[in-house]
Amino acid sequence: MKKSEFISKSRNFEKRFQKNQTIFNMLFIIIVIAILYLALSVERLSSGYGLFLPTVFIALFFVNSLLSNAVRRYQISNSGLGCKSCKENLLAEKGDIAIATGNCPICGEAAFNDVNKLD
């Protein structure tokens, strides 16, 4: 992949990644609000559910964290933004170093097909 292609793909990936994370977080907030409403309705009917709300909230928080991390890892591994030699992802700081130097910061090999050409 040429350096210019990498920069373009990297920008598109970042936009898509932010959009997906925003949608995921909004869905989580909607689910939490729905459960709060449901829990408060149940609490009015019966006082025996005192620990129900905190337990559900903590469980949802951990489930959201696990799902969010799994989705993030999947998106990063399938981004196609890796070193051509060692296949390590070149996102964030590693990508910036690769763009600046033309070399992978992990293995030191040329990260792009057009390293010696001016872009």
Tell me how far apart the alpha carbons of residues 110 and 84 are, in angstroms, rounded to a whole number: 8
37 in a structural domain: yes
C-alpha distances (whole Å) from 46 to each of 35, 49, 52, 57 are: 16, 7, 11, 19
104 in a structural domain: no
Range of the domain at 25: 3-81
89 in a structural domain: no
- Global pTM exceeds 0.85: no
What is the tens place of the pLDDT at every residue in 64-91? 888 888 988 898 888 889 888 898 999 8
